[in-house]
DNA sequence: TTGAAAGCGATACCAA
DNA sequence: TTGGTATCGCTTTCAA
C-alpha cells in the first residue's frame, strides 16, 4: 500500500494537519515533533506531499506553459527562440516557477487541445502560434492568464513585442536607398500543410500576426520608393530553418530575372539565403544583397545586415507579465525597441548583362 | 462564482459523471446530449475539467521534469544541451507528454528541493546534476521513475550515456601520439561556490560522475604514455561557457612553461581555450594543440579535434526510458557510441626556446 | 445511456 | 501548538 499523509499521521499518532504542517510550515509545530514526523515518514517510505493534490488544493501549479507550434524541437533549433526561452526561464526562476514546454503539432488539433487542457499551469506564454491554431481559442476559454509574443495594444491578452512593421520598413528602405528595385522576399509563417516554398499573394491573408506585419512593413517601403508591389515576389519558406531558407532562395536565384536583393523575414532564413548564394558563387552584398531580422549571434559572423530586436529581455518581460502582472491593464502591452544593423550583406545593386 | 462540473451538471439537469464523460469519453453518451452539455458549458464559462484535479484523480501528470543545475539559462547556452533537449522533446511529444524544465540553483538547496517536490510530473530526467546535490537524494525518495544522463550499469536508476573514460583516453592518446608531453587539462563540473578556475588535485574527489570519468580517461592515456601525472595541471573552469574556458586557458597559456597541448573536457570550453589563444596570437594545432568533447556544430567551423557523442539520440532514448521503460531492467542502461574526430586543432608540438 | 456515491491526497480555518 | 472538519474538482466503479 502506498504511504500517504494519513498513514504517517496514524503511525505518529497525530492528525493529518500536523503532518502537513511538518512539511509546509515548519514554524507551526515544535521541532522535536516535526523531526519525529519526518523520521517516521522516511521509515514508512512516504514521499512527501503529493504534488498534484497540493496543487489542486492550493490553486497554484508553480509552472507556466509555453506553447510552440511545429514539434518543439524546432524551437531549440532557432537561436532567437532559444534566447527568448532563456529570458523566460530566468524570470520564471525568480518566481519559483517552472516552465512547461508544450509542443503543439499543427496537424493534430485534437492532441494540441488535449495538451493545453491537461497542462497543470498557472498561465500560458504563446510563442508564435498562428492565429488559426485551435489552441488559441481553447486557451481563451481556460480563464488562465496569457501572454503573447506580440505587441498589440488593442488586444485583451497581455503581450510583449516590437513594431515589426516599422522595423521591416526600415530595413527595406535601407535597400531602396542603395537603389535596389528588383527585390524579392522570403517570409516564414505556419500555414496548414506547407512543406515547400509557396508564393504569397495576399498579405492580409497571412495567418500569423508577426509575419503579416513584417510583410506590410516591407511593402510600405517598396511602394514608398515608387516600386510596383506586384513585381515583388514573396515566397513563404516551409519552416524557419536554414535549409528551408536555402530552398526558397534557390527558386529566386535561379530565375532569369534574378532579384538584386532578397529580404528575409528572419535571420535563420537569411543564412539559408546566403547558403544558396554560396552554392552559386554569388557574394552577399556584392552580387545580391540580403537582409535578415532578429540579429542572432551568427548574424555578425556572416556580416548580415539585419534588424536587432531584444530576445532575452523579451522573455524576461513575458514571464513578468504572466507572473506579476502590472495592475494597470494598459501596462500589460510592452513595446520593445529595434535597431537597424548594417553590415556587409547589403550594398549597391550590380548592373548585369 | 467559478463554474465547475457541478454547475454545468445542474444547469443541464444531469449528473457530474455525465458532464465528465462529455469531455473525456465522448462515446459514453449520446451526441445530442453531449452537444447540449458542451454548449451550456460554454455559456456558463466553464473552462473544462480542471487539470490539477484531473491529474490527481487519474494519477497521471502528462509531463516529465527535466532537472538542470545552475540557472536554467545556461542550459540554453550550451549547444550540446540544446540538442539533447531537442531529442527529449521529440520523444516526449510522441507520448503526448510535456517537458517541465526545472532549473535548480546549487546555492539554494531549499528552493531546489521545493521545486522537485512541487513538480506535477510522471518522472524525472536528471541532466548533469552533480552527485552532491540535494535534489538527488530528494528525488530518490519520491518514488517516481528517474533517468540520468549517465551510463552506469550497476546503478538502480535508468540511464543513457557514453563511455566517457574510454573516449577521453582516445582523444588524449591522439595527443600523446603526436608527441605531446606537456599537457594541461581544463575540466568543468559544478562544485559548491567555484566562481573562478580551481586546480583539481584529486580526481576521485570530483563530485560529478561524467567529469570524473573524463579525467580518469585522460589520466589513463597520459600515464600510459609514460608521463608523470603529477606534472599535468588540471583546472576546473567556473562554468561550461566559452568565457569560463577562456579565463581558465589564460592562466595556462601565460605560464612560463606553457603546455604544448590543452585538453578541454567540453567543446564549449575548448572554444574558450581557442579564444584565449587568439588573444595571444597563438595558432591552434600549430603553437598549441587543443581538443574538445561533444562535437557541437561550431566545432567543425573552428577545426576542433574532438570526441563526437550523440546528442539528439541521447535525448530521444532518455525520454523513451522514462515513458516506456523496457521490461528487463538490464535494458534500462543504454551505452551510446563515441568517435574521435580529428581536425586541425591538433598537431605536433612546437619546439620552443 | 445515465446517475449516486466513494474517493484521489492534501490544506485551511477555526476551535481547543 | 495541535486536531477536526470541510473542501479543492474531478473520475470511476457499479447499479439502475
* CA dihedral sign of residues A133, A135, A138, A144: negative
Can you tell me whether residue A185 is helix, strand or coil?
strand
- Percentage helix, strand, coil for chain A under 3-state DSSP, each rounded to 5: 45, 15, 35
Helix (H, G, I), strand (E, B) or coil at A74: helix
Facing residues of A185 across strands? A234, A263
Query: Which of B86, B98, B103 is nearest residue A100 as measured by Cβ atoms?
Result: B98
> For A191-214, how does the pLDDT look when each residue is reduced to its tens digit (9 = 90+)?
877 889 999 999 999 999 999 999
> Residues A138, A109: contact at Cβ < 8 Å?
no
Q: Is the CB of A57 under 7 A from strand C?
A: yes
Could you say which nucleotides of strand D lie within 7 A of any protein CB atom? 1-13
- Please report the pLDDT score of residue A315 as a whole number: 96
pLDDT (average), residues A171-181: 97
Q: Which residue has the cell 552533480?
A: B130
The set of residues, in sequence order, having a beta carbon less than 8 Å from that of A25 and lying 6+ positions away, is none
| Residue range A239-264, pLDDT digits in tens | 899 999 999 999 999 999 999 999 99
CB proximity under 8 Å: A 10-69 to B = 42, 45, 47-56, 61-63, 65
A117 vs B48: CB contact, 8 Å cut-off? yes
Q: Spell out which residues of chain B touch residue A120, defining contact as CB-CB under 8 Å.
A: 51-52, 55, 61, 63, 120
Nearest chain A alpha carbon to B101: A99
Query: How far is Cα A232 from Cα A201, in angstroms, rounded to an integer?
Result: 10
Contact B264, B304 (CB under 8 A): no
Whether the CB of B270 is below 8 Å from some CB of chain A: the reply is: no
CA of B15 to C1' of C2 (A): 8
State the CB neighbour count (10 A cutoff) for residue A206: 22
**Measured CA to C1', what is the nucleotide nearest A31?**
D1
At B329 the pLDDT is 93
Cα dihedral A315, B120, A116, B159 sign = positive
Nearest CA among A352, A174, A328 for reference residue A258: A352
Give B18's Cβ-side CA count (13 Å radius).
20
Chain B nearest CA to A292, separation (Å): 21
Distance from CA of B42 to the nearest CA of A (A): 8
Which pLDDT score is estimated for A351?
61
pLDDT tens track for A15-35: 889 999 999 888 888 888 899
B353, pLDDT greater than 70: no
Give the DSSP H/E element, type plus range, for residue B122.
Answer: none
Average pLDDT of span B46-56: 93
A174 three-class SS: helix
pLDDT digits (tens, 9 = 90+) for B141-198: 999 999 999 999 999 899 999 999 999 999 999 999 999 999 999 999 988 778 899 9
Within 8 A by CB and 6+ apart from B310, the residues are B162, B336, B337
Question: Residues of B321-350 as b/e, b for ≥16 C-beta within 10 angstroms?
Answer: bbbeeeeeeeebbbeeebeebebebbbebe
Amino acid at each position: 500500500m502506498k504511504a500517504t499523509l494519513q498513514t504517517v499521521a496514524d503511525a505518529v499518532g497525530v492528525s493529518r494537519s500536523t503532518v502537513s504542517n511538518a512539511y509546509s510550515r515548519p514554524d507551526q509545530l515544535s521541532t522535536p515533533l516535526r523531526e519525529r514526523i519526518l523520521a517516521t515518514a522516511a521509515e514508512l517510505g512516504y514521499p512527501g506531499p503529493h504534488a498534484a493534490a497540493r496543487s489542486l488544493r492550493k490553486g497554484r501549479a508553480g509552472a507556466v506553459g509555453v506553447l510552440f507550434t511545429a514539434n518543439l524541437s524546432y524551437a531549440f533549433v532557432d537561436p532567437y527562440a532559444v534566447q527568448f526561452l532563456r529570458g523566460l526561464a530566468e524570470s520564471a526562476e525568480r518566481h519559483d516557477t517552472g516552465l512547461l514546454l508544450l509542443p503543439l503539432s499543427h496537424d493534430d488539433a485534437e492532441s494540441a487541445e488535449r495538451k493545453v487542457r491537461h497542462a497543470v499551469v498557472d498561465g500560458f506564454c504563446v510563442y508564435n502560434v498562428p492565429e488559426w491554431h485551435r489552441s488559441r481559442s481553447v486557451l481563451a476559454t481556460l480563464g488562465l492568464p496569457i501572454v503573447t509574443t506580440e505587441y498589440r495594444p488593442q488586444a485583451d491578452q497581455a503581450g510583449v513585442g516590437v513594431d515589426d512593421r516599422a522595423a521591416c520598413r526600415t530595413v527595406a528602405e535601407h535597400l531602396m536607398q542603395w537603389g535596389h528595385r528588383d527585390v524579392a522576399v522570403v517570409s516564414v509563417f505556419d500555414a496548414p500543410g506547407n512543406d515547400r516554398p509557396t508564393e504569397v499573394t495576399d498579405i492580409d491573408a497571412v495567418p500569423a500576426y508577426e509575419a503579416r506585419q513584417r510583410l506590410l512593413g516591407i511593402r510600405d517601403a517598396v511602394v514608398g520608393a515608387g516600386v510596383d508591389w506586384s513585381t515583388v515576389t514573396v515566397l513563404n519558406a516551409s519552416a524557419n530553418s536554414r535549409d528551408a531558407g536555402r530552398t526558397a532562395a534557390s527558386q529566386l536565384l535561379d530565375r532569369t530575372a534574378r532579384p538584386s536583393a532578397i529580404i528575409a523575414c528572419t535571420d535563420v532564413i537569411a543564412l539559408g539565403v546566403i547558403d544558396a548564394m554560396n552554392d552559386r558563387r554569388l557574394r552577399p552584398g556584392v552580387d545580391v544583397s540580403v537582409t535578415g531580422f532578429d540579429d542572432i549571434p551568427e548574424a555578425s559572423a556572416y556580416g548580415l545586415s539585419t534588424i536587432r530586436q531584444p530576445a532575452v529581455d523579451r522573455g524576461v518581460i513575458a514571464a513578468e507579465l504572466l507572473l506579476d502582472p502590472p495592475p494597470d491593464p494598459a501596462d500589460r502591452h510592452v513595446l520593445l525597441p529595434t535597431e537597424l544593423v548594417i553590415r556587409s550583406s547589403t550594398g549597391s545593386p550590380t548592373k548585369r548583362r
